[in-house]
Amino acid sequence: MCGIVGYVGPRPATSIVVNGLQRLEYRGYDSAGIAVLHEDRIHVRRDAGKLSNLIALLAQQPIDGNLALGHTRWATHGRPSQQNAHPHSDASGEIVVVQNGIVENYRELRESLQAEGIEFRSETDTEVIVHLLALNYSAAGGLAEAVRKTMGHLKGPSAIVAMTSREPDRLVAARLGNAGGVAIGLGDGETFVASDIPAILEHTRRMVFLEDGQVALITRDGVQVETLAGQAVKPEIHLIPWDPISAAKGEFRHFMQKEIFEQARSVTDTIRGRVDFDAGEVVLGQLNLSPERARSFNRIVIVACGTSAYAGLVGKFLLEAIARIPTEVDYGSEFRYRDPIIDEQTLLLAITQSGETVDTLAAMEEGRNKGAFVVSIVNSIGSQAARVSDGVITMHCGPEIGVASTKAFTTSVVDQYLLALALAQARDSIGPAHRRRLLNDLAHLPRLIGQVLDPNDNALYLDLAERFHGYRNFLFLGRGINYPIALEGALKLKEISYIHAEGYPAGEMKHGPIALIDREMPVVAIAVQDSVYDKMISQIEQVKARSGIVIAVASEGDEFIASKADHVITVPSAPPLLTPVLSVLPLQRLAYEIAVWRGADVDQPRNLAKSVTVE
Q: Which residue is nearest to ligand AGP (CB)?
A: 306
CB 183 within 8 A of CB 207: yes
* Residue of the chain from 136, 268, 354, 539 that contacts ligand AGP (CB under 6 A): 354
* Residue of the chain from 150, 360, 394, 579 that contacts ligand AGP (CB under 6 A): 360
Question: Considering only 56-64, 69-77, 347-355, 461-469, which stretch makes contact with ligand AGP by CB under 6 A?
Answer: 347-355
613 binds ligand AGP (CB under 6 A): no
Instruction: Measure the CA angle with vertex 499, ends 494 and 501; round to 5°.
Output: 60
Residue 607 Cβ vs ligand AGP, minimum distance, rounded to whole Å: 11
Comparing CB distances to ligand AGP, the nearer of 127 and 400 is 400
Residue 146 Cβ vs ligand AGP, minimum distance, rounded to whole Å: 33
Burial class for 11, CB neighbours closer than 10 Å (0-12, 13-18, 19+): middle
Q: 290 to 309, contacts with ligand AGP by CB under 6 A?
A: 305-308
* Residue of the chain from 269, 495, 530, 558 that contacts ligand AGP (CB under 6 A): 495
Residue 562 Cβ vs ligand AGP, minimum distance, rounded to whole Å: 31
Comparing CB distances to ligand AGP, the nearer of 167 and 366 is 366
Binding-site string for ligand AGP from residue 388 to residue 417, where x marks contact by CB under 6 A and - marks none = ---------------xxx------------
Catalytic residue annotation: 2, 610
Pairwise CA distance, residues 175 & 16, whole Å:
23
Best CA proximity match to 612, nearest among 222, 153, 304: 304
CB 154 within 8 A of CB 26: no
Comparing CB distances to ligand AGP, the nearer of 381 and 424 is 381
Task: Collect all residues with Cβ–Cβ distance below 8 Å to 345 and sequence separation of at least 6.
Answer: 296, 297, 298, 299
Residue 28 Cβ vs ligand AGP, minimum distance, rounded to whole Å: 13
Best CA proximity match to 407, nearest among 492, 481, 333: 492
Pairwise CA distance, residues 594 & 608, whole Å:
18
Residue 211 Cβ vs ligand AGP, minimum distance, rounded to whole Å: 19
Comparing CB distances to ligand AGP, the nearer of 180 and 505 is 180
Size of the site for ligand AGP (CB under 6 A): 15
* Residue of the chain from 31, 353, 482, 529 that contacts ligand AGP (CB under 6 A): 353
Q: Roughly what angle, to the nearest 10 degrees, separates helices 579-597 and 407-427?
A: 170
612 binds ligand AGP (CB under 6 A): yes
282 binds ligand AGP (CB under 6 A): no
Residue 595 Cβ vs ligand AGP, minimum distance, rounded to whole Å: 12
Question: Considering only 5-13, 74-82, 177-185, 354-362, which stretch makes contact with ligand AGP by CB under 6 A?
Answer: 354-362
Pairwise CA distance, residues 319 & 416, whole Å:
7
Pairwise CA distance, residues 7 & 79, whole Å:
28
Edge to edge, the sheet with strand 238-239 lists: 41-48, 31-38, 67-73, 3-8, 191-194, 183-186, 206-209, 238-239
Please list the residues that pair with 227 across neighbouring strands. 214
CB 36 within 8 A of CB 12: no
Interface residues toward ligand AGP, by CB under 6 A = 305-308, 352-354, 357, 360, 403-405, 495, 611-612
